[in-house]
């Protein structure tokens, strides 16, 4: 399963990239509104920073407007995927963009049938919003499970990109269901790696190490070794 980060914040993108944790980025108008930089500059910088698909969303609501915007958005980078909302005009736009080889992420999907329509129109990704369904007492991941079954039944190429993720369980369940991609806010990404038993275990190992014969001596010797290494110029070794 690929991990995208759901943000327009360059710092978060760089941090997640530093941990080797991201395969792509999804943005939306609300996420850009949280940033202080001009969205155009930011979109360009994100596309440069990320080695993977970057979803940029259109604002237009007619097929004509969406196609026009999509043609502008793809200029921000070769990795742009145009986000089109799941409305009837959106379906027409997806069809046109598919014919132009412009990849689309169909967003604001809440039912398996919406996902099927978007896939039939030619979307590269469909984005079911699981958190927002949970918010209104529907189980978002049930919709994803049905999408996986339907897409498998017809061997559809469209990828299921689980969005509106609120917690690690959403991600685990999406993985169990076989969703292709999950897009995750940075704070949730950090939470997946964390476990109190990991922290306790690490603290205990470090404490016990203090008691290991020779461990203290090794720790004391280390700075002296570093100082000696600084004085002596490092030998150049051939690159492999
Ligand atoms: C997906 O592409 C959307 O940007 C995002 O996941 C929406 O999440 P929210 O429901 O937390 O706003």
Cα–ligand 1 centroid distance for 32 (angstroms): 12
Instruction: Pick the atom of ligand 1 nearest to 107's CA.
Output: 2
Residue with tokens 């978060």: 12
In whole numbers, what is the pLDDT of the chain averaged over residues? Answer: 93
For residue 72, the model assigns a pLDDT of: 98
- Tens of pLDDT, residues 195-216: 999 999 999 999 999 999 988 7
188-9-195 Cα angle (round to 5): 20
Question: pTM for the complete prediction?
Answer: 0.89
Given 17, 48, 83, 194, which residue is catalytic?
Answer: 83
Q: Please work out whether the CB of residue 158 comes within 6 Å of at least one atom of ligand 1.
A: no
Q: Please work out whether the CB of residue 57 comes within 6 Å of at least one atom of ligand 1.
A: no
Q: Please work out whether the CB of residue 26 comes within 6 Å of at least one atom of ligand 1.
A: yes
Per-residue pLDDT of the chain (240 residues; tens, 9 = 90+): 999 999 999 999 999 999 999 999 999 999 999 999 999 999 999 999 999 999 999 999 999 999 999 999 999 999 999 999 999 999 999 999 999 999 999 999 999 999 999 999 999 999 999 999 999 999 999 999 999 999 999 999 999 999 999 999 999 999 999 999 999 999 999 999 999 999 999 999 999 999 999 887 666 665 555 555 555 554 444 444
Q: Please work out whether the CB of residue 131 comes within 6 Å of at least one atom of ligand 1.
A: yes
- Gap between the Cα atoms of 2 and 64, Å rounded: 32
Query: Atom 1, ligand 1: which residue's CA is nearest?
Result: 163
Cα–ligand 1 centroid distance for 207 (angstroms): 42
């Amino acid at each position: 399963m690929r991990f995208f980060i759901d943000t327009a914040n360059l710092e978060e993108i760089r941090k997640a990239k530093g941990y080797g944790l991201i395969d792509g980025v999804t943005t939306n108008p609300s996420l850009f509104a949280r940033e202080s930089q001009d969205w155009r500059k930011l979109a360009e910088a994100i596309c440069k920073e990320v080695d993977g698909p970057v979803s940029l969303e259109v604002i237009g609501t007619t097929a004509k407007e969406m196609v026009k915007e999509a043609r502008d958005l793809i200029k921000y980078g070769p990795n742009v995927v145009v986000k089109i909302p799941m409305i009837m005009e959106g379906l027409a736009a997806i069809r046109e963009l598919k014919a132009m080889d412009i990849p689309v992420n169909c967003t604001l999907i809440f039912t398996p049938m919406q996902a099927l329509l978007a896939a039939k129109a030619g979307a590269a990704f469909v984005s079911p919003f699981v958190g927002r369904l949970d918010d209104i007492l529907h189980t978002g991941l049930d919709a994803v499970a049905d999408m996986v079954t339907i897409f498998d039944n017809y061997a559809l190429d469209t990828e299921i990109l689980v969005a509106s993720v609120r917690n690690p369980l959403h991600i685990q369940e999406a993985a169990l269901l076989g969703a292709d991609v999950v897009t995750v806010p940075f704070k949730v990404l950090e939470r997946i790696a964390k476990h109190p038993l990991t922290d306790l275990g690490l603290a205990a190992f470090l404490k016990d190490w203090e008691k290991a014969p020779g461990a203290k001596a090794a720790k004391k010797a280390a700075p002296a070794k570093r100082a000696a290494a600084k004085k002596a110029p490092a030998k150049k070794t051939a690159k492999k």
